[in-house]
Amino acid sequence: MRQTFVGHGASRGSALGRARVRLPHVLEVVEEHIPAKRVEGEIVRLHAAIGTVREEMFALRERLHGALAHEVGEFLDLHSLLLDDPELLQGLDELIRTGRYSADYALRLQRDRIASVFQTMDDAYFRSRVDDIDQVIGRIHAALHRHDAGMPGVAGEILVTDNVAPAEIAQLQAQGVMAIVTTTGSILSHSAILARSLHLPLVVGAEGALQRINDGDVLAVDGATGNVILEPDANDLRAHRGRVRELARERKQLHRLRREPTRTIDGVDIKLYANAESRDDVAEAHALGAAGVGLYRTEFLFLQRNELPDEEEQFRVYRDVVLGMTGRAVTIRTLDLGADKADRTGLALRDEPNPALGLRGVRLSLARAGLLEAQLRALVRASGYGPLRILLPMISTREEVRQVRATLKRVTLELREQGHAIADNIPLGAMIEVPAAAIALPAFIGSVDFLSIGTNDLVQYLLAADRNNEALTSLYTPLHPAVIRLVRDVIQLARKRDKPVAVCGEMAGDSHFAPMLLALGLMEFSLHPATLLELRRTIRHCDLAQLQSRAPALLRARDRAGIEEWIAENAPVVA
């Protein structure tokens, strides 16, 4: 019987296929004891399963690249660390040896032990890590029995589940999943961001879907509206075919914009930069006509390895990025690593009570003088091959900028004396993602050459709301009046002081927000290459002068609903 489930469209696209239902993960294993002669063999079997999972995650990590690797990699790296955790492994071995439990039941007991410790912690961040433990334990449990039943195929099917982890998104798409429907989740979560990057239809918050949808049921999913139809009728099927034709037409139109300028109706050119993390990202940005690279992440050089990259290795990578953009500006961010990211090099502290507020970003670089100097030397050397800018993450004080600039000045003089050909001028910029930096900007804007607003962290810190905490979905939003006014203040001050300013967070890549950001005075966007053409199309249908004349009404909005109403009223008509 036809039924409709209304969720939230998290990633556009339409899909029609059979449902594959995955119930919430609960490791239901009966207590099982084994004879003494099976103990060592059971331990070998368990370690083999752990090795299989480790190899699978490594293979997935190798297939990823660019911003996708950055987002998914954090979760894969964390899961890899859990797999190598002595407490987990030794505890499992001990349970099998002393309690003579089966590997399955030992997994269940160890999971419950570790989870109980995390769940009693006061810090919400660590409490949320129970989900990662469950996912790792679930992978091991599945690997233990893979030779018996095999992994269920999902090719050509639509996954219906309670939630989906970021580390699963790319793997599910590679397996051929057509769309994902979850009963929980947020459109601003890491999973949603990755689904949009991969153009994989995703609907979140479809209440009742797990209770009413069964394996094999036919589903029609609209990732734009959030509608999920069970057993669609003739009208639904016609509507689905119409959406598919429209999406195909849209893709053709977007392809034609690769060489078109990003120019508003009233003739104003807007700069679209690309966020990148690999040669592939850089090549795609170049092919799409990006003005340059607005944010090149350097963390991938440091993650998933046991030693620090030296100056020479970093130099070769940065040089190749600069060469890849053939004269277009490249902005490279210094290391943004902290305890919230898996780190095997020993740089990030492991025991910080609140990693999001800890020794991360520029704070970590300044605390490790040799680390900062090696990275700056590599960047300065790369500047000899084309225009390069250096961007500092997590700036909160003027003194941090001054310290980095002093080191930059010193290493630049040293490299010139050593005979290196380097740029005459290397702009130094600051990311505005800490509210204190935005508020105190008038006091230190003279110390920087450009700015980049990182809206992801700025929203999180300003509203004291974790974007991955489902209980705070309604609170975490870039459409809070305080966020809009703070972003406007930063843009206005930067323009007044003739400092280039861009937005590089998720807000920049959502064409829905483009008219609002243009109204606030933004002239530079930095975004994932996957959404660059869509944003270009939207901007080409905007009248900049008209939008900016309506900015006072936007700033008078008293709540999210008022801002959403302004956006709806000023959305351009895109033919």
Instruction: Give me the active site residues, please.
Output: 190, 504
CB 456 within 8 A of CB 275: no
DSSP letter at 85 equals -
Degrees to nearest 5, angle at CA 68 with 63 and 70: 100
Instruction: Select from 346, 340, 379, 377 the least CA-distant residue to 360.
Output: 340
Strand 179-182 relative to strand 8-11, pairing: unpaired
Strand, coil or helix: what is 146?
A: helix
Contacts by 441-444 with C-beta closer than 8 Å and gap 24+?
Answer: 441/489, 441/490, 441/493, 442/493, 443/398, 444/397, 444/398, 444/401
AA identity, residue 569 = E
Tell me the two tokens of residue 566. Answer: 């302004």
Token duo for residue 224: 């734009």
Could you tell me the strand order of the sheet in which 157-161 lies? Answer: 3-6, 227-230, 218-222, 14-22, 157-161, 179-182, 202-204, 8-11
How much is the CA Rg of the chain, to the nearest whole Å? Answer: 25
The DSSP 8-state label assigned to residue 101 in this structure reads B
Give the C-alpha separation, 371 to 473, whole Å: 37
DSSP 267-290: S-B-EEEEEESSHHHHHHHHHTT-
Residues 6+ apart with CB under 8 A from 479: 560, 563, 564, 567
Residues 162, 353: Cα–Cα separation, whole Å: 29
Residues in the chain: 575
Question: Looking up tokens 């509203």, which residue turns up?
Answer: 463
